[in-house]
Structure 1
Amino acid sequence: MVATHYEVGEKVPADICPTLADEGDITFAVSVEVYGGYGSAKHVYPTEQVERIQDLFVVGGEIDEVGVADDVRLYTIPHDALR
């Protein structure tokens, strides 16, 4: 399974966070890998473990809770650690 990699500070794609991504003020707070699932499902894994899923994103310069698309699953543990 091939993942798309995003670095800290990169803009979050609209298919992950549709409401805020269009405004351009939501970025990744940590490096992540995004794996595709069945249909349009997306699985977002940090490359290093985080405490909370909120720690994955920065909104307007601050870490905040973010609403994601219905078919997006967020994880706090790296993908490789789950194997």
Structure 2
Amino acid sequence: MSLPRTHQCSGCSPSPASGTTLHEDLVVGAPLSMEDLTDAQRLERFSRKYAHDGCEVQDVRRVPHDSLGGYAWSVRFSEGS
């Protein structure tokens, strides 16, 4: 999977109790082949992209967006302190 054309952080929620930060990114421009994958396969693909920063992907879902394709991928992930 190539890198997405845009990567925008749409929300960050620090959790002092657990020492992690939960982020939500909108990924616009991911390959159309992402549609053909199961939820588990999509989670694995995005997990590999975020792993280099020590992040753990929690959830990946398709959301409406004003892009050419009409949607983006919402990626929720945690980041250790």
The answer, yes or no, to whether TM exceeds 0.5 is no
Scaled by the length of structure 1, the TM-score of the pair is 0.27
* Greater per-residue helix proportion: 2
- Of structures 1 and 2, the one scoring higher in RCO (CA 8 A, sep 6+) is 2
Structure showing greater radius of gyration is 2
TM-score, normalising length: structure 2: 0.27
